[in-house]
Amino acid sequence: MDTAQPSSVSSQTITFRIWRQDGPGGESHYDEFRIPYHKGANVVSCLMEIQRNPVTVQGKKVAPVVWDAACLEEVCGSCAMNINGRVRMACSALIDKLEQPITLEPLKKFPVIRDLTVNRDRMFEALKRVKAWIPVDGTHNLGPGPRQSPKDHATMYVLSTCITCGSCLEACPQVTLDNHFVGAAAISQARLFNMNPTGKLNAEERTRALMGPGGVQDCGKAQNCVKVCPKEIPLTSSIAAMNREVTKLVIKDLFFKDEESKGHSGPG
**For residues 266 and 124, which has the higher predicted lDDT (pLDDT)?**
124
Q: 121-260 has which CATH code?
A: 1.10.1060.10
**Nearest partner of 41 among 118, 93, 104, 77, judged by Cα:** 93
**Does the pLDDT of residue 6 top 50, yes or no?**
no
- Cα 237 to chain centroid distance, Å, stands at 16
- According to CATH, the topology of domain 9-118 is Ubiquitin-like (UB roll) (3.10.20)
**Does the pLDDT of residue 262 top 70, yes or no?**
no
pLDDT more than 70, % of the chain: 91
Q: How confident is the model at residue 7 (pLDDT cuts 50, 70, 90)?
A: very low
Q: How confident is the model at residue 265 (pLDDT cuts 50, 70, 90)?
A: low
Q: Read off the pTM.
A: 0.88
Mean pLDDT of 150-179: 96
By mean pLDDT, which of 154-158, 221-225, 254-258 is the weakest?
Answer: 254-258
Strand-pair partners of 20: 29
Give residue 22's identity as a one-letter amino acid code: D
**Within 13 Å and on the Cβ side, how many CA atoms surround 100?**
19
Quick: pLDDT tens for 101-157. Answer: 999 999 999 999 999 999 999 999 999 999 999 887 777 777 787 888 999 999 999
Q: How far apart are CA 230 and CA 162, in angstroms?
A: 9
Quick: pLDDT tens for 198-209. Answer: 899 999 999 999
Q: How many of the other CB atoms lie within 10 Å of CB of 173?
A: 8
Q: How far apart are CA 122 and CA 8, in angstroms?
A: 39
